[in-house]
């Protein structure tokens, strides 16, 4: 249900979920890093995104549970403008740090996510775990195979991409990616 | 048959993964222009400035197929919420009724629960479909 993107930011590979999609991904969350990325606009050679390093997990989770609005989250984050080049699909380059006051006026309302992302994510994982638990009955062998193949294909694709065009990442980031 | 030359395995991969959407129903599209023009209905995959990214995601069949479709929303409230959060998407909201004759429509509710992906048939003019201004 939720698409995953692996992004490169500050020389680290991060697994993120697409949480808003409209003509392409418009908002990503990297749960392990407390990072939220918001699309701002298209430019000739790249997209401009806002990166929010959220100060604590509770704020991020409240936003993802649809309990607080985006302005509350941004107010409690360190903010950076990023360039997302069309040429490098996964690469986000930090341009500069921005103050909340600069960004605040871009949002006429303290708009929420509109749905409880965390609840949906847990439901999805619950279904996957459930399908594994009845694997022995062979009733869902096809769905389990598809799930495993999807994961495997994604991993192989990423490994091939990285092998042909190695990014500058630290060992932790690389390990994280391979374990994903 | 389709208005734009779709990537390989598209829209077949959508048929495998998603249910077809409801036809003869009103859908919403955010536009930059008022009245909307054809550029407001060009899927991301076919935008000139996306050429470089198109080349990068050739292997991800599902992703490129989704990008080759047009995002539509069935729920007006969700469309307005997106306009507030992402003002650069456009300042106007138009709606229209999509029928079987207009193209293929899939329910793609990954994030926004009412998100749909639309592949227009050739000769279909989206500007004529999305005529009712909502915002």
pLDDT on residue A172: 40
**Minimum Cα–Cα distance from B77: chain A residue:** A114
Cβ-Cβ pairs closer than 8 A, A with B, add up to: 83
For chain B, the domain total comes to 1
In a domain, B4, yes or no: no
Tokens of A105: 């006026």
CATH code, B27: 3.20.170
pLDDT on residue A134: 46
CB contact under 8 A, A2 and B85: no
Residue B11, preceding peptide bond in cis (omega within 30° of 0) = yes
CB contact under 8 A, B84 and A1: no
Give the percent of chain A with pLDDT over 90: 43
pLDDT on residue B91: 95
Q: Which domain holds residue B42?
A: 12-133
Tokens of A137: 């009955």
In a domain, B5, yes or no: no
pLDDT on residue A120: 83
> pTM of this prediction?
0.80
Q: What is the number of alpha carbons within 13 Å of residue A84 lying toward its C-beta?
A: 24
- Tell me the C-alpha distance between B116 and A118, whole Å: 22
Ordered alpha helix ranges (H), chain B:
12-17, 51-56, 61-67, 76-85, 126-129
In a domain, B54, yes or no: yes
Nearest to B82 among A22, A86, A106 (CB): A22
Q: How far is B59 from chain A (nearest CA, A)?
A: 8
In a domain, B3, yes or no: no
How confident is the model over A59-72, as a mean pLDDT?
A: 95
How confident is the model over B108-133, as a mean pLDDT?
A: 92
What is the torsional sign of CA A77, A83, A86, A92?
Answer: negative
Contacts of A70 in chain B (CB under 8 A): 85
In a domain, B106, yes or no: yes
ipTM of the predicted assembly exceeds 0.90: yes
pLDDT at A66 > cutoff 70: yes
Per-residue pLDDT tens for A86-145? 877 788 999 999 999 999 999 989 999 988 888 888 776 666 555 544 444 444 434 444
């Amino acid at each position: 249900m939720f698409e995953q993107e692996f992004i490169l930011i500050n020389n680290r590979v991060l697994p993120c979920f697409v949480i808003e999609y409209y003509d392409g991904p418009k908002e990503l969350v990297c749960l392990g890093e407390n990072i939220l990325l918001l699309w701002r606009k298209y430019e000739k050679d790249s997209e401009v995104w806002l990166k929010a390093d959220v100060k604590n997990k509770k704020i991020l989770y409240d936003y993802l549970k649809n309990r607080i609005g985006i302005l509350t989250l941004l107010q409690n984050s360190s903010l950076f403008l990023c360039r997302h080049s069309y040429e490098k699909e996964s690469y986000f380059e930090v341009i500069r740090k921005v103050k909340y006051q600069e960004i605040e006026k871009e949002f006429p309302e303290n708009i929420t996510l509109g749905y409880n992302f965390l609840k949906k994510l847990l439901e999805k994982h619950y279904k996957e775990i459930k399908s594994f638990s009845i694997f022995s009955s062979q009733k869902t062998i096809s769905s389990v195979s598809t799930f495993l193949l999807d994961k495997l294909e994604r991993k192989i694709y990423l490994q091939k991409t990285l092998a042909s065009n190695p990014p500058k990442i630290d060992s932790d980031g690389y390990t994280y990616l391979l374990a994903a | 048959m389709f208005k734009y030359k779709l990537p390989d395995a598209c829209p077949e991969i959508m048929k495998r993964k998603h249910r077809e959407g409801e036809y003869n129903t009103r859908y919403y599209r955010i536009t930059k222009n008022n009245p909307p023009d054809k550029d407001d209905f060009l899927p991301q995959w076919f935008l000139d400035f996306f050429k470089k990214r198109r080349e990068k995601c050739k292997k991800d069949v599902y992703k490129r197929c989704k990008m080759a479709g047009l995002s539509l929303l069935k729920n007006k409230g969700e469309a307005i919420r997106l306009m507030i959060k992402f003002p650069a998407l456009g300042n106007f909201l138009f709606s229209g009724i999509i029928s079987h004759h207009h193209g293929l429509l899939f329910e793609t509710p990954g994030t926004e629960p009412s998100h749909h992906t639309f592949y227009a048939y050739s000769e279909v003019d989206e500007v004529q479909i999305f005529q009712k201004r909502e915002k």
